[in-house]
Amino acid sequence: MSREINTVGVVGLGTMGAGIVEVFARSGIDVVAVEVTDEAVERGQATLVGSIDRAVAKGKLTPAARDEIFARVGFAVGFAALHDVDLVIEAVPEQLPLKQRIFAELDRVCKPGAILATNTSSLSVTEISVATTRPNQVIGVHFFNPAPVMKLVEIVRTVVTAPEVVADVEALCARLGKTDVTINDRAGFIANALLFGYLNQAVSMLEARYATREDIDAAMRLGCGLPMGPLALMDLIGIDTAYEILDTMYRRGGRDRRHAPVPLIKQMVTAGLLGRKTGRGFYTYEGPGSPKVVADELTAAPEPAGSTQITTIGVVGSGVMARGIVEVAARAGFDVVSVTRGEAKTAAVTAAVQGSLAKAVVKGKLTEDDQAAALARITWSHRLEDLDDVDLVIESVVEELSVKKAVFAALDEICKPGVVLATTTSSLPVIEIAMATQRPADVVGLHFFNPAPVMALVEIVRTIRTAPETTAAADALVAALGKTGVHCADRSGFIVNALLFPYLNDAVRMLEASYASADDIDYAMKLGCGYPMGPFELLDTVGLDVALAIQRELYLELREPGFAPAPLLEHLVTAGYVGRKAGRGFRDHTNL
């Protein structure tokens, strides 16, 4: 049976430390909050007061509850005040020598039975613990920012942490209303090991001028449903903090180049561009600590309007994506020619679009008149020749290069000069598709996301041969469809898939190494990072075969060992475990 912890000490009262103090005080636990100077104590106290007062203003706390919380917290300068606490949590900057010095002092001051915990997000808990004479009582307790809001706590045991210490901390987390995952001491633990490779890669895209900061962030918010884009998240975390975490993970985690800090990150740290806390990072803010972004010299200028007048759109394909694009275009007021292979597929697409529009009427998103008008704008066909007078064609056939090249070669013969030819490929090189025509300047990638009527994002992919007028016409079309367009060059995975699937692959590697269960990894990313789905939930939904195909394309292009598909992913696909569509992937879906 775990013992009850009644008094907790917190060392370091920055944003994270003050948040941890609030978590314990709100849960009825007495807290001794410690800093090294009076000024630091005052700053920490102001942070706590500000957070609690905001909760009162929002009606989440009563004034009486606020007073009770403040009554439970005692502030002090120096470690001597921690002599009688049951547990101490250290929350100082991510510097190993600093943490080791603090733990040596805590070992000297704290009573023999006290648990010594570190909130480190990337450093070795084992290396911190050996600075004490009681390494068996040292444990990692990693809260996430903001601590009062985020539900996840990573409990990190070393090879010598006593089982009863782990049990005590797990019970404490339950008492705090947190969800814990208990894991071994490894660089980055779960959440940061998966998160920071993704963040680092996003910075690499920006550094290479592959896409703008706004487009990278919009792509991941709108394409993946993430609460923040990667560059805005880096600013929130702190560029200096991100650099320390990446550098530690690179050195401790097998020197994986995905965790080697991109040079731009170190340059920004050197220049003092640390994110929100300094008022400038990847974005410029209204002032230090402000979340409000203001325009600066890097703010993207509006794209020029397209000169091509588009009134009629051709859509080639019969799959889910093609059907969605037909519906979106017709609802936006365009005349649409839907071309499929054969009368049976034409009938299937017709029924699917009619059914989807009918559902929109039932849900109140369309009137019956809107439905009738949209259907009247669609011409159904199974002949490519019927695209001879359209202004733009969107191809959405099977994701096979030879098939797409054949379609584009045929469109090149059929379509009138100046027609924009767009492919919805999500992973194939757009330039190879374009070069199947005699008009590569007119070819562009328009990567819609599924389901097209719902998802707001379209990646507009330019090749080295795409004319500016073609890109401008694509911009105008995407805006007319009510979508948000983001621009990128023609590179495997574009923005979203190039950032998303290596993260999913990293999660599979983590599972493959038996570091954590699929459930714990999913919990960590949903509760610790605010992701709408955990990586294994998402893999089962997308399809393991799809993930493997995209990861193979990324690896073939980038040739980095860290991008090689995880063997477990390949084995599962070979065995037919491809996700929900097959009833079995990382989880059994046969009864769902």
Q: What is the pLDDT of residues 171-205, one digit of tens each?
A: 999 999 999 999 999 888 999 999 999 999 999 99
The pLDDT of residue 1 is 61
The answer to whether 275 touches 238, Cβ cutoff 8 Å, is yes
Which residues does 237 contact at the CB level (< 8 Å), separation at least 6? Answer: 145, 275
Enumerate the CATH 1.10.1040.10 domain ranges in the chain, comma separated: 193-294, 504-582
Mean pLDDT value across the chain: 92
> How much is the CA Rg of the chain, to the nearest whole Å?
27
The order of strands in the sheet holding 378-381 is 378-381, 335-339, 312-316, 392-395, 420-423, 443-448, 457-462, 484-489
- pLDDT score of 255 more than 80: no
- Letter for the amino acid at 336? V
CATH architecture of 312-489: 3-Layer(aba) Sandwich (3.40)
| Alpha helix positions (H), 271-332 | 320-331
pLDDT band at 2 (very low <50, low <70, confident <90, very high): low
End-to-end CA distance of the chain: give it in Å, rounded: 37
Enumerate the CATH 3.40.50.720 domain ranges in the chain, comma separated: 7-184, 312-489
E-state strands within 50-172: 73-77, 87-90, 115-118, 138-143, 152-157
Average pLDDT over residues 316-342: 95
Q: Distance between CA atoms of 367 and 355, rounded to whole angstroms?
A: 14
The pLDDT of residue 591 is 57
CATH code for the structural domain at 504-582: 1.10.1040.10
Digit-coded pLDDT (tens) for 474-501: 999 999 999 999 999 998 889 999 999 9
CATH code for the structural domain at 7-184: 3.40.50.720
CATH code for the structural domain at 193-294: 1.10.1040.10
The answer to whether 502 touches 471, Cβ cutoff 8 Å, is no
The pLDDT of residue 301 is 66
pLDDT band at 561 (very low <50, low <70, confident <90, very high): confident
Furthest CA-CA distance within the chain: 85
Q: Can you give the length of the chain in residues?
A: 592
Pair type for strands 115-118 and 87-90: parallel
> Measuring CA to CA, which residue among 445, 444, 385, 435 is closest to residue 415?
385
Supply the pTM of this predicted model: 0.88
- pLDDT score of 306 more than 90: no
Which residues does 267 contact at the CB level (< 8 Å), separation at least 6? Answer: none
**Active-site residues: which are they?**
121, 142, 154, 192
The pLDDT of residue 153 is 95
- Burial class from Cβ neighbours inside 10 Å (0-12, 13-18, 19+) for residue 473 reads buried
Cα–Cα distances in Å, from 414 out to 337, 418, 419, 432, 534? 14, 12, 10, 19, 45
Specify the higher pLDDT residue, 104 or 249. 104
Digit-coded pLDDT (tens) for 7-16: 999 999 998 9
Digit-coded pLDDT (tens) for 509-548: 999 999 999 999 999 999 999 899 999 999 999 999 999 9
